[in-house]
Amino acid sequence: MLDKRLVDTLSRVFNVDPSTITPETSPATLPSWDSVGHINLVLELEDVFGVRFSSESIPTLDSARTLQAAIDALGG
Protein backbone atom coordinates (compact mmCIF):
# COMPACT_ATOMS: atom_id res chain seq x y z
CA MET A 1 0.00 0.00 0.00
CA LEU A 2 1.40 3.39 -1.00
CA ASP A 3 1.29 6.31 1.41
CA LYS A 4 -1.00 9.03 0.07
CA ARG A 5 1.78 11.61 0.45
CA LEU A 6 4.03 9.47 -1.78
CA VAL A 7 1.31 9.22 -4.42
CA ASP A 8 0.68 12.98 -4.21
CA THR A 9 4.37 13.79 -4.54
CA LEU A 10 4.83 11.47 -7.53
CA SER A 11 1.77 13.00 -9.13
CA ARG A 12 2.94 16.56 -8.47
CA VAL A 13 6.55 16.10 -9.56
CA PHE A 14 5.70 14.18 -12.74
CA ASN A 15 2.48 16.05 -13.44
CA VAL A 16 0.29 12.94 -13.76
CA ASP A 17 -3.06 12.00 -12.27
CA PRO A 18 -2.72 10.34 -8.82
CA SER A 19 -5.07 7.54 -9.92
CA THR A 20 -2.51 6.33 -12.45
CA ILE A 21 0.13 5.69 -9.78
CA THR A 22 0.63 2.12 -8.57
CA PRO A 23 3.44 0.32 -6.72
CA GLU A 24 4.76 -0.66 -10.18
CA THR A 25 5.09 2.99 -11.32
CA SER A 26 8.70 3.46 -12.41
CA PRO A 27 10.88 5.31 -14.92
CA ALA A 28 9.80 2.65 -17.43
CA THR A 29 6.12 3.60 -17.07
CA LEU A 30 6.55 7.38 -16.62
CA PRO A 31 8.55 9.12 -19.36
CA SER A 32 9.04 12.26 -17.23
CA TRP A 33 10.80 10.16 -14.54
CA ASP A 34 14.23 10.78 -16.07
CA SER A 35 17.46 11.51 -14.20
CA VAL A 36 16.51 15.15 -13.51
CA GLY A 37 13.01 14.04 -12.51
CA HIS A 38 14.57 11.53 -10.16
CA ILE A 39 16.56 14.22 -8.33
CA ASN A 40 13.46 16.44 -8.12
CA LEU A 41 11.47 13.52 -6.72
CA VAL A 42 14.07 12.54 -4.13
CA LEU A 43 14.46 16.13 -2.88
CA GLU A 44 10.68 16.60 -2.68
CA LEU A 45 10.13 13.32 -0.83
CA GLU A 46 12.83 14.21 1.69
CA ASP A 47 10.94 17.42 2.50
CA VAL A 48 7.54 15.76 2.62
CA PHE A 49 8.59 12.84 4.85
CA GLY A 50 11.42 14.51 6.77
CA VAL A 51 13.89 11.77 5.82
CA ARG A 52 17.30 11.70 4.18
CA PHE A 53 18.16 8.97 1.67
CA SER A 54 21.75 7.73 1.58
CA SER A 55 23.82 8.38 -1.53
CA GLU A 56 23.99 4.64 -2.12
CA SER A 57 20.24 4.15 -1.99
CA ILE A 58 19.20 7.10 -4.20
CA PRO A 59 20.04 5.44 -7.55
CA THR A 60 18.22 2.22 -6.50
CA LEU A 61 14.89 3.91 -5.70
CA ASP A 62 13.48 3.08 -9.10
CA SER A 63 9.82 2.37 -8.43
CA ALA A 64 7.00 3.58 -6.19
CA ARG A 65 7.30 0.26 -4.31
CA THR A 66 11.03 0.64 -3.52
CA LEU A 67 10.48 4.29 -2.55
CA GLN A 68 7.76 3.26 -0.11
CA ALA A 69 10.01 0.58 1.38
CA ALA A 70 12.92 3.05 1.76
CA ILE A 71 10.69 5.66 3.39
CA ASP A 72 9.29 3.01 5.78
CA ALA A 73 12.81 1.83 6.65
CA LEU A 74 13.82 5.41 7.52
CA GLY A 75 10.75 5.80 9.72
CA GLY A 76 9.25 8.53 7.52
Partner 1 sequence: MTQLRVALLSSCTIEVLERPLAAALRERGFEPSFWISGFGQYRQDALDPASGLYQHDPNVVLLYLDAEDLFRQLLQNPFANVGDARRAEGRRVADDIASLVVAIRSRLPKATVVVNTTALPPLNAVTGLEFNSEFGVQDAVAEYNAGLVAFAAARNDVIVLDAAGLAASVGFSRWRDSRMWYLARLRLSKPALEALASGYASTIAARLGKTKKCVAVDLDNTLWGGIVGEDGFDGIKLGEDGLGLAFAEFQEELLNLYRKGILLAICSKNNPDDALQVIRNHPGMRLREEHFAALRINWEDKASNLRALAEELNIGLDAFVFVDDNPVERSWVKQSAPEVVVPEWPTDPVDYKSALLQLSARYFPKLGITAEDRKRGEVYQAQAARRKLESSGATIEEFYHALEMRVRVGRADSFTIPRIAQLTQKTNQFNLTTRRYTEAEIRAASEDERTEVFWLDLNDRFGPSGLVGVLILKQDAPGEWNIDTFLLSCRVMGRTVENAFLAAAAREAGATCLVGEYAPTAKNSPVKDLYARLGFAHVRDVGERRVWRLANAAKLEIPPWFQVERDRNGATADPPLITR
* Residues with Cβ within 8 Å of residue 38, at least 6 apart in sequence: 27, 58, 61
Spell out a b/e string for 21-30, using b for 16 or more CB atoms within 10 Å of the CB, else e: beeebbeeeb
Q: Among 28, 39, 69, 73, which residue sits at the site for partner 1 (rule: CB under 8 A)?
A: 39
Q: Among 18, 31, 50, 59, which residue sits at the site for partner 1 (rule: CB under 8 A)?
A: 59
Q: Taking Cα atoms as reference points, which of 6, 18, 11 lies closest to residue 48?
A: 6
Of 5 and 22, which CB lies nearer to partner 1 in the complex structure?
A: 5
Q: Among 58, 60, 72, 73, which residue sits at the site for partner 1 (rule: CB under 8 A)?
A: 58
Which positions touch partner 1 (CB under 8 A)? Answer: 13, 35-36, 39-40, 43, 46-47, 53-55, 58-59
